[in-house]
Structure 1
């Protein structure tokens, strides 16, 4: 990740559009080999945030939840890294080897040449890398306000 993005912090997003704008800011700072782990309750906005990351990375394809396919690849439109969007929830109880699980998905992209964004990845996906960005998304109430806290772990 480029050094101009804060390595830890907290941000409040009042709307889904604010969450996507924050994701876009992060996406523009991500580099090949980066791992981003998103955690938060169901409906917290992990996929919405990832849509913003995709915009910031300038990748192809519509970003939707990868729940049923486990992982989706979004190649760059501008020569940057591919975005690999993973829903780790279905892998949690099935494997002690996340890299092996991702390899078995026959992705066309080498993980070290991509940015991996993993939803539900805490406690599992961090084994893919010595350093990763951990992001927790919480909802304060029934409204659209989301609170993002993040920290670069290495």
Structure 2
């Protein structure tokens, strides 16, 4: 797993964003990346995961759960929509949401009461684009790209986009984690 240094430190087109590209070569490295990101997460953080089916969103979330030290196996919540994994220690709970089956309606997202869970939990939403941005001005967007035409089906580029003041020091925080 390597951080690509060719991406911008700050995206000047969108004020208040920090972007970091990371090459991931295997599912194990995707879990490791999740554990690394977990080291910088705090209660109230919103993490949005975007990527095609099979890109590694749930694998990354498993690593987040391991890094946060939460109870229960982190599996895709596709059919239950949301799962809460309480902390085994004094850290935040992990609320894992799969918005894939939800329509674009804000009412469906509001029914999940994520705004109530957010202050004391880390909320991770798969397929949340256009559905959960209103929950927080500060969020970490994780974009998982499978290399097109690549013969290695496991290779991914993961782009972390920190939006808002909370994520200004994303590069430094990840280096320290």
TM-score with structure 2 length normalisation?
A: 0.76
RMSD (Å), alpha carbons: 1.8
Q: List gaps (5 residues or longer) in structure 1.
A: 1-5
Q: CA deviation at 1:126?
A: 1.1
Larger Rg: 2
Q: Secondary structure at the match of 1:38?
A: strand
Q: Secondary structure at the match of 1:91?
A: coil
Determine the structure 1 residue equivalent to 2:119: 112
From 8, 20, 23, the counterpart of 1:9 = 20
TM-score with structure 1 length normalisation?
A: 0.87
Q: Secondary structure at the match of 2:125?
A: strand
Structure 1 moving runs of 4+ over 6 Å: none
Determine the structure 2 residue equivalent to 1:96: 106
1:41-84 CA deviation, whole Å, 9 max, x = no partner? 11100000100011110111000000000000001111110000
Q: CA deviation at 1:92?
A: 3.2
Distance in 2, Cα, partners of 1:35 & 1:150: 13
Paired residues in the alignment total 144
Distance in 1, Cα, partners of 2:108 & 2:90: 27
Q: CA deviation at 1:98?
A: 5.9
Q: CA deviation at 1:111?
A: 2.2
Q: Secondary structure at the match of 1:79?
A: coil
Distance in 2, Cα, partners of 1:92 & 1:27: 29
Report 1 or 2 for greater relative contact order, CA contacts < 8 Å, sequence distance ≥ 6: 1
1:100-139 CA deviation, whole Å, 9 max, x = no partner? 2212x9xxx7321100000001111111111110110011
Q: Secondary structure at the match of 1:10?
A: strand
Kept in 1, the 8 Å contact 2:109–2:131? The answer is no
